[in-house]
Amino acid sequence: MQLAHTLLLGFALSSPVSAMFTCGNENATLFPPPPIDRNQLGMRRRQIYLLPPPIELIVHVVARSKRRQDGYLSDEDIHRQVQVIKDSFAPAGITFNHTKNHWIVTKAWSFETPGSQDWVDMQSLLHEGDQRTLNLYFVPWKNATKGGFCTLPWSMGGPLDGCVIKSNTVPGGGHSYWSQGKAAVHEIGHWLGLAHTFEVRDPENPCDPTDPDDGVIDTPKFDYHHYTQEMKGTCHLDLNTCPHLEGKDPVHNYMSYVSDECATEFTRGQVVRMYEMWAKYRAILPENEWEKTVEGS
Ligand SMILES: *[C@@H]1O[C@H](CO)[C@@H](O)[C@H](O)[C@H]1NC(C)=O
Ligand SMILES: *[C@@H]1O[C@H](CO)[C@@H](O)[C@H](O)[C@H]1NC(C)=O
Ligand SMILES: *[C@@H]1O[C@H](CO)[C@@H](O)[C@H](O)[C@H]1NC(C)=O
């Protein structure tokens, strides 16, 4: 599996600030395609966006034993996690149809190295549905540095499409700063075509106003070099790391790297982008009867 096609959410544990964020594809391959040409989608002046239908959601729990510390999640754990996902995407008009939970207890896969055969084997075996189906895999990822990773809508279809999430980031799962289930929300944002709010093409110039970064105009730029180890797990509401640019740092954004207590929003631009990415890459259009008008901004 090519990690260039996935996004990793993670913090390095014991590293200099520059390595605080460990993203599996920090270079150009990760960058989102530009916003879609609306004519291509038959959008008129009043901009009709296709709202995704209720997204079919299948949860796979892959545990090494039936014990919690080995990644096992109960019905109730899954229910609470899915509720956080639903609540977080509801303001964006994106809903989920949670149809199935699937448990597999095995020691066959260790999942230690991203991109190893373990991931490919697991996803190939368990994946269900097509590009419209969201497969979430909760795994006991022993390495503490990552919260999860996800395929992007334009990067990979087939059985490797989906999101892998560290089991202990579910609500009450015991993770020290991702403890409210927002890691899954962040990952699903990637699955729906969002990049991190701090993506930049030139890491030396994170505040370059000409950098198209995440392809969304209303997420202010954020110089992640200022985001230090001490800030992990806290809410820093007044960060303004690109002071000469408009807007403070998007510390409440699900697609930033903030603690779960801070992460509470997608911007309007991100919502529009998710609709566009759905329409272009995931929808099977003739079957798609859901439409929503979004006022042009
Ligand atoms: C990104 O590019 C830099 C500079 O070319 C390189 O050193 C680094 O290894 C690349 N990172 C990844 C994840 O490919
Ligand atoms: C949810 O998915 C099931 C199985 O595909 C389907 O029968 C049902 O109609 C769906 N419900 C909604 C609200 O989309
Ligand atoms: C997990 O740990 C192994 C062994 O230390 C290392 O080789 C691997 O790169 C780590 N994986 C991640 C995701 O950091």
Tell me whether residue 187 is one of the annotated catalytic residues.
yes
Residue 101 C-alpha to ligand 2 middle, in angstroms?
A: 15
Residue 230, Cβ density class (10 Å: 0-12 exposed, 13-18 middle, ≥19 buried): exposed
Can you tell me the mean pLDDT for 206-221?
Answer: 85
Tokens 């920090």, residue located: 26
Q: Which residues contact 2 (CB under 8 A, 6 or more apart)?
A: 115, 156
Give the per-residue pLDDT at 265: 94
- What pLDDT is stored for residue 143 in this prediction? 61
- The fold of the 3-195+264-293 domain, in CATH, is Collagenase (Catalytic Domain) (3.40.390)
Domain ranges of the chain: 3-195+264-293
Residue 95 pLDDT > 90, yes or no? yes
Inter-CA distances, 178 with 71, 174, 210, 236, Å: 15, 8, 32, 16
The residue whose CB lies within 8 Å of the most ligand 1 atoms, and thus the one to mutate among 26, 30, 201, 204, is 26
Average pLDDT over residues 227-242: 73
pLDDT (average), residues 41-49: 45
- Rounded to the nearest angstrom, the distance between the alpha carbon of 26 and the centre of ligand 1 is 7
Q: Does residue 135 carry a pLDDT above 60?
A: yes
- Pocket test of ligand 1: the residue of 27, 199, 202 to mutate, having most ligand atoms within 8 Å of its CB, is 27
Q: Cβ(135)–Cβ(129) under 8 Å? A: yes
Q: Dihedral of the CA atoms 271, 210, 238, 258 (nearest 10)?
A: 50
Instruction: Please tell me which residue, 145 or 245, carries the higher pLDDT value.
Output: 245
C-alpha 179, offset from chain centre = 16
Cα-Cα-Cα-Cα torsion 214, 225, 185, 8, nearest 10 degrees, comes to 90
Query: Is the per-residue pLDDT at 12 higher than 60?
Result: no
pLDDT over 90 percentage in the chain: 34
pLDDT in tens, 272-295: 889 888 888 888 754 444 444 333
pLDDT at 33: 53
Lowest mean pLDDT among 35-39, 79-83, 102-106: 35-39
Q: Are strands 146-151 and 163-166 parallel, antiparallel or unpaired?
A: antiparallel
Give the Å distance between the CA of 27 and the centre of ligand 1. 6
